[in-house]
Amino acid sequence: MTTYTIATIEGDGIGPEISSVSLRVLDALRSRFDLKFEFRPAPAGDGCKTRTGEALPPSSLSTIKDSDACLKAPVGDTAAETIVKLRQMLNLYANIRPSKSLPHVPSLRPDIDFVIVRENTECLYRGMEFEFEGGVVALRTITRKASERIAKYAFELAEQRNGPRKVLAVHKSNVLRKSDGLFSQVCREVSLNHTTIGFSEMLVDAAAMNLIRMPETFDVIVTTNMYGDILSDEAAQLVGGLGVAPSANIGESSAIFEPVHGAAPDIAGKGLANPVAMLLTCAMMLEWLSKTRGDAACAGGASAIRSAVNLTLEGGLKTQDLGGASSTSEFGAAVVRHLQG
Ligand code: IPM
Ligand code: MN
């Protein structure tokens, strides 16, 4: 039996509800796949700041660093002090955000299957904002190094995918000539080392439109931090909304897995949250563990979670955001039943 240590950030708002579903689902893999998870709480976020004075205490950071992976639920207003900091401190440079039609979930087209590869460490997210008389200036950094490693990641990901295998670089180089000009140029350079993968470019405003006009034509989109943030919410809506959108923050040796959505305080504690995004996030975590540790059991666990989620949806169970009436925990219990039986 292989044991993995997983740092868990329970989060704020709906975080605890979807976390508890996901931990139960991961526990359910134990007997079938000989996989054991040791969960180590790593408190962070609004509630943590209220209790301890810090949104990201050093002890939580050590727990995350010392674990095999981190599974994070959304945090509230302190997101900039927690997840944005974690991405930068741990150099989790690739934010992977798949958008794929699911069975029995409303999708703009039935055959959407693309992934946004969002640069995760720079752009406007370094938080360099300065006041001057009459306003504020925000600095946006785009470096050759970060652009190159994210472009490489995108091409390598495209090489592993089925289907059309193409990378689209999204930017705004017609206006941001130097910053997005550099991003575009580096993506073009990297494309020359990956000649089996198609390469094209699109301005971000056109990309926002084309995602709605012809979402089925996209494969791998590589883009800078803020465009990736915005386009990934749009991408989620194409296949059912934020309730079904998972993501992974990947670095050289560590990774944090989290749903794309936020803490949704308006529906917190009511059993209304859709746990699908968090469960597909667990599947992404297992796929990453499988790849980095060479452990086939993790890949088996990941595909079992994906099938159990699909079977649950096919069985008609849905939370309110998808037009159903089942609660967070009912949905979770059904996924566990499918995993066990
Ligand atoms: C996301 C979120 C975060 C981001 C926020 C909460 C800081 O919207 O992961 O997409 O902007 O990256
Ligand atoms: Mn976002």
Q: Which residues pair with 129 in a beta bridge?
A: 138
Residues of the chain predicted below pLDDT 70: none
Atom of ligand 1 nearest to the CA of 262: 6
Distance separating alpha carbons of residues 312 and 316, to the nearest angstrom: 7
- Quick one: pLDDT at residue 1? 82
> How confident is the model over 142-177, as pLDDT tens digits?
999 999 999 999 999 999 999 889 999 999 999 999
Cα 229 to middle of ligand 1, angstroms? 6
Asked whether the beta carbons of 258 and 73 are under 8 A apart, the reply is: yes
> How confident is the model over 90-124, as pLDDT tens digits?
999 999 999 999 999 999 999 999 999 999 999 99
CATH number 3.30.56.10 is the correct assignment for the domain at 108-238: no
Indicate if ligand 1 lies below 6 Å from the C-beta of 245: no
Q: Write down the architecture of domain 1-96+243-341 according to CATH.
A: 3-Layer(aba) Sandwich (3.40)
Cα 294 to middle of ligand 2, angstroms? 31
Asked whether the beta carbons of 231 and 207 are under 8 A apart, the reply is: yes
What tokens were used for 143? 């470096």
12 noted as active-site residue = no
Distance separating alpha carbons of residues 99 and 101, to the nearest angstrom: 7
Cα 234 to middle of ligand 1, angstroms? 13
Of 42, 49, 96, 41, the C-alpha closest to 76 is 49
**∠ Cα 114 119 122 (to 5°):** 160
Q: What is the 3-state secondary structure (H, E, C) of 10-33?
A: CCCCCHHHHHHHHHHHHHCCHHHH
pTM tops 0.95: yes
Asked whether the beta carbons of 80 and 127 are under 8 A apart, the reply is: yes
User: What DSSP letter does each residue of 168-199 carry, written as one string?
Assistant: EEEE-TTTSTTHHHHHHHHHHHHHTT-TTSEE
> How confident is the model over 65-75, as pLDDT tens digits?
999 999 999 99
Atom of ligand 1 nearest to the CA of 95: 9
Distance separating alpha carbons of residues 336 and 341, to the nearest angstrom: 9
Pocket test for ligand 1, best of 56, 82, 84, 92 (most atoms within 8 A of CB): 84
Distance separating alpha carbons of residues 202 and 204, to the nearest angstrom: 6
Instruction: Output the CA–CA distances (angstroms, integers) from residue 280 to 26, 43, 98, 211, 218, in the order listed.
Output: 11, 22, 10, 22, 21
Indicate if ligand 1 lies below 6 Å from the C-beta of 190: no
Indicate if ligand 1 lies below 6 Å from the C-beta of 96: no
Instruction: Output the CA–CA distances (angstroms, integers) from residue 142 to 171, 176, 221, in the order listed.
Output: 11, 11, 17
> Which residue's alpha carbon is nearest to atom 3 within ligand 1?
79
- Quick one: pLDDT at residue 105? 97
Domain range summary for the chain, segments of one domain joined by +: 1-96+243-341, 108-238
Report which secondary-structure segment, H or E, holds 130. Answer: strand 129-132
CA–chain centroid gap for 299, Å, is: 18
